[in-house]
Amino acid sequence: MKELIRKRILVTGGAGFLGSHLCERLVAQGHDVLCVDNFYTGTKRNVAHLLDHANFELMRHDVTFPLYVEVDEIYNLACPASPIHYQYDPVQTTKTSVHGAINMLGLAKRVRAKLLQASTSEVYGDARQHPQTEDYWGHVNPIGPRSCYDEGKRCAETLCMDYKRQHGLDIRIARIFNTYGPRMHPQDGRVVSNFVMQALTGEALTVYGDGSQTRCFCYVDDLIDGLIRLMNASTPPEAPVNLGNPHEISMLDTARRVIALSGSGSDIAFKPLPVDDPWHRCPSIERARTLLQWEPHTSLDVGLEATIAWFRRLIESTRERAAMAY
């Protein structure tokens, strides 16, 4: 049996949705994990169950400022990822993507650490290619309300590749497509969390346009497996790697499925499409299949059931705390 090589691993944005699941997995594998977060969208609740582990450490820090630690690997996940949160303070969003990447790359250069950059499918913008392959350059509005995130992540990718070429750093870039699961922020404005919260509270589910636009949803456990496989790949890919579920579903069908699985009596309300909202978002994952032997395995119904159960418990615990306050 292959012996574990215990590594010192930094996870920025580690108290967020994806970051907390990643920290949990790495701690379970026996690595020393330093979780860094400024708690803008992340929460201590997401990692509270890890605090008693000797190989887990939590630090409040904003990646727009330099960080001086000794680590072997860096997962740079720090950045608000939902439109509501990244558009609230767009200047800070760009700073987090760009300055954060500069600071983490500088740290990686100093300690010769491997770095995995969490990029996004939003680098493809309102894509004219479908599905999106990694060699597609995208169709992005550089001055729109979403550009703080889209262009910030594109610039971070540029920085990563330049550090790789100029300084010989071991860089891996994951272009993450829509991911869902337990610990999503209940007010993040993303499709699954919106639909589930609305269904469980009896509100009408908000569908934009006529609901025929499509997305692909990857369950969080599958995504975390992909990130770890990408970091652990013996040969670093020469270019970004898409990580997501290639099976498309329309927004209207997603809403109907959430209503059915949650047992909700909610209606569906149609509203105008947001500015620059992409019509289709679907990854080609052939590169991940070939290089990482990775593809998602969790069905949408199974993932949604787990997500609905988690949000149901969250709502119940919030009500219980409110009742106790009175």
Dihedral, CA of residue 208, residue 212, residue 213 and residue 214, to nearest 10: 120
How many whole angstroms separate alpha carbon 62 and alpha carbon 69? 14
Give yes or no: 208 in active site: no
In angstroms, the Cα distances linking 187 to 98, 196, 202, 253, 264 are 25, 11, 16, 22, 19
- Return the CA Rg of the chain: 19
**Residue 105 near residue 67, CB atoms below 8 Å:** no
**Residue 19 near residue 184, CB atoms below 8 Å:** no
Annotated catalytic residue, options 40, 75, 149, 219: 149
Beta strand ranges found along 200-252 (DSSP E): 205-208, 214-216, 218-219, 241-243, 248-250
Tokens coding 78: 């720090």
Residues serving a catalytic function are: 149
